[in-house]
């Protein structure tokens, strides 16, 4: 290997600074959430305790955290499943040339770039003018899909751009029906990417704020609850909650990455040894 140029060390330092910039603040509130009972929102630490985490479990101190967490969790799962199914179907549809596909594509881009508050406002208006009750599981659910679906579809486009169609042709030559080709050839090949779509679907929904603001009704999701807290809670209990939800997000991400890793390993193991030279 040739020696590293000097620029490598400069850029490495830059990259480390970038990581500190990305993670530093979050780590800081992680530390501050263990603030002693008399501590405030910034350093110095006045002792180390679990005081603020204990506070989270007392209803009157912070409001309905656990209710909003379970709503966000269920909504996240709903959005995740829908995003995966609809994105796969949409991805498959775009491989065929159908009339209107260009319009649909531009709608997807619009859905991606439209200011979130417009979705919130528009959906809220439709619901209120038709006297429907806004609820996180109906209007909130749909509003979130306009954010997660474009990401799911962009991932599907990327996947199918790299997809080798000869696998499908081989299956068809062996007499597989169109459904069998999808079920036994296409889906297993794209499975790891689907985990990625699922991860995006869940986490984007779990963290979404603007699109649920006017569409979730009287029962808040967790981000709405946290935002409400920022205006009236001035103790480290806010940091404790921030730390807990971030840890939860990290666990979710780790789980998904682990599943992808397992899938890839199983695939490597079961892969054909054709051409390996063993007779």
Please list every residue from 127 through 146 that binds another protein, using CB under 8 A.
Answer: 129, 142-143, 145-146
Regarding 149 and contact with another protein (CB under 8 A), the answer is: yes
Q: Which of residues 188-217 bind another protein (CB under 8 A)?
A: 199-200, 203-204, 206-207, 209-210, 214
What does the DSSP 8-state code read for residue 41?
Answer: S
For residue 85, the number of C-alpha atoms closer than 13 Å in the C-beta half-sphere is 6
258 binds another protein (CB under 8 A): no
DSSP state, 212? G
For residue 158, state whether it binds another protein (rule: CB under 8 A).
yes
162 or 269: whose CB is closer to another protein?
162
For residue 48, which phi and psi values (nearest 5 degrees)?
-120, 130
Q: Which residue has the tokens 């679906």?
A: 149
Q: Shortest Cβ distance from residue 278 to another protein (Å)?
A: 26
Q: Would you give the binding string for another protein spanning residues 88-117, x where CB under 8 A is met?
A: -xx-xxx-xxxxxx--xx-xxxxxxxxxxx
The distance of closest approach from Cβ of residue 24 to another protein in the complex, given in angstroms and rounded to an integer, is: 8
Please state the separation of Cα 208 from the chain's center in Å. Answer: 9
Residue 81 binds another protein (CB under 8 A)? no
The first and second tokens of residue 81, run together, are 């499943």
Binding-residue pattern over the window 33 to 52 for another protein, x denoting contact by CB under 8 A: --------xxx---------
Cα gap 177→186, rounded to integer Å: 12
Q: How far is the C-alpha of 203 from the C-alpha of 29, rounded, in Å? A: 21
Q: How many helices (H) and strands (E) does the chain have?
A: 12, 0
In the complex, what is the shortest distance from the CB of residue 197 to another protein, in angstroms, rounded to a whole number?
Answer: 13
Beta strands, E only, 137-177 = none
Task: Pick from 157, 163, 167, 219 the residue near another protein by CB under 8 A.
Answer: 157
Min separation Cβ 272 and another protein, Å: 22
Residues 6+ apart with CB under 8 A from 78: 137, 141, 205
Binding to another protein, residues 169-188 (CB under 8 A): none
Rounded least distance, CB 94 to another protein, Å = 8
Pick the piece of the chain touching another protein (CB under 8 A) from 58-66, 185-193, 225-233, 267-275. Answer: 225-233
C-beta of residue 225 within 8 angstroms of C-beta of residue 65: yes
Token pair listed for 100 = 């209107």
What tokens does 189 get? 């090949």
CB 11 to another protein: min, Å: 4
- Shortest Å, Cβ 119 to another protein: 6
| Of residues 162 and 274, the one with the C-beta less far from another protein | 162
- Please select the residue that binds another protein; options are 3, 21, 131, 278, rule is CB under 8 A: 21
Residues 6+ apart with CB under 8 A from 249: 203, 206, 207
Q: Does 8 bind another protein (CB under 8 A)?
A: yes
Tokens for 125?
């208006």
């Amino acid at each position: 290997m040739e020696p590293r140029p000097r620029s490598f060390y400069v850029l490495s330092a830059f990259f480390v600074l970038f990581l500190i910039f990305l993670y530093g603040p979050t780590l800081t509130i992680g530390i501050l959430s263990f603030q002693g009972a008399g501590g405030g929102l910034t350093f110095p630490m006045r002792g180390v305790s679990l005081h603020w985490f204990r506070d989270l479990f007392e209803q009157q101190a912070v409001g309905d955290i656990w209710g909003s967490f379970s709503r966000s969790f269920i909504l996240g799962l709903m959005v995740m499943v829908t995003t995966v199914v609809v994105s796969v179907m949409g991805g498959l549809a775009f491989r065929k040339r159908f009339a209107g596909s260009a319009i649909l594509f531009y709608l997807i881009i619009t859905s991606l770039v439209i200011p979130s508050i417009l979705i919130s406002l528009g959906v809220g208006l439709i619901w209120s003018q038709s006297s429907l009750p806004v609820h996180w599981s109906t209007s909130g659910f749909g509003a979130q899909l306009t954010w997660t679906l474009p990401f799911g579809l962009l991932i599907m486009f990327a996947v199918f751009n790299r997809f080798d169609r000869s696998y499908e042709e081989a299956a068809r030559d062996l007499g597989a029906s169109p459904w069998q080709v999808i079920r036994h050839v296409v889906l297993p090949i794209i499975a790891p990417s689907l985990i990625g779509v699922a991860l995006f679907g869940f986490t984007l929904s779990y963290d979404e704020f603007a699109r649920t603001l006017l569409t979730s009704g009287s029962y808040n999701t967790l981000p709405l609850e946290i935002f409400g807290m920022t205006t009236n809670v001035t103790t480290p209990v806010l940091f404790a909650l921030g730390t807990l939800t971030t840890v939860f997000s990290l666990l979710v991400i780790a789980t998904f990455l682990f599943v992808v890793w397992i899938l890839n390993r199983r695939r490597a193991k079961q892969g054909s040894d054709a051409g390996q030279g063993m007779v």
